[in-house]
Amino acid sequence: MRPVAAGLLCAAALSLPLPALSADAFTDAMQAAYVPYRAALFRTNGKSQEEAAKAVEQAQQAWQALRRQVGTKPPPPYERDAKFDATLAQVATVYERAAGEVRANQLSAAHETLEAVRGLLAELRQSNNVVVFSDAMNAYHAQMEHLLEDGSKALTDDAAWMEWMARVGVLEYLGGALRSNAPAALLADADFEAHLKAVQGSVAALRSASLAHDATAVREALGKLKGPYSRMFLKFG
């Protein structure tokens, strides 16, 4: 699937009415275990092996505790999911692999390995009709990564610029969806508001540069997308 099409599908999905952000104890516990996961993802994107190792260990311990808590019987609303146990085991395997990569001081490899957890948990929730704010963050992240990957080769001619503007528009929409999909508790948090404005501001800068047809400014704006998102993801994602 072309990146712009994938982004448009994400945007369309987020425009639909959403079920409760969390209506069961297991999803709440899984989201609690997601907090140290986000820290592990953030630290493996840095340069300190010690900090990365500690963060991955804490995430791994949180996941192990969650698996002990749930036991062998999938809780509602996951009780009919035949892949439930296998998914939990896959996440544990990802953590084991990432921990080994950190021990070998392969932080970039560990970071890429840990990205799989995001997808596995999202698929688990989606298969069971469970939606949380992290899904909006994941949709934005996926489109952002497509733009970062393709930015240098997408600005070659007028036709490419037109497609590029459409893709930037998708990111702008998904940035807006971060607000519309946030629960009331987050919307009332001044720190959340500050992080959200930083993310949306980075997209606005990219849009302005793209409208100006300024490839140099576009590349500069692309370089400033990941920082605001990463900081927001670490704390709220």
The 10s digit of each residue's pLDDT in 78-133 is: 999 999 999 999 999 999 999 999 999 999 999 999 999 999 999 999 999 999 99
How far apart, in whole angstroms, are the C-alpha atoms of residue 222 and residue 15?
25
Is the pTM higher than 0.75? yes
| 93 in the same domain as 29 | yes
The three-state secondary structure class of 182 is coil
One domain, residues 137 and 120: no
Structure token digits, residue 49:
């092996």
pLDDT tens per residue across span 146-176: 999 887 666 777 778 888 989 999 999 999 9
Instruction: Quote the number of domains for the chain.
Output: 2
Q: Which domain holds residue 75?
A: 25-127
Shared domain check, 230 and 138: yes
| Cα distance between residue 205 and residue 169, in whole Å | 12
Q: In the 8-state DSSP scheme, what is residue 74?
A: P
In a domain, 19, yes or no: no
180 exposure class (CB count in 10 Å sphere: 0-12, 13-18, 19+): exposed
Indicate if 97 and 179 belong to the same structural domain.
Answer: no
**CA–CA distance, 85 with 66 (Å, rounded to integer):** 12
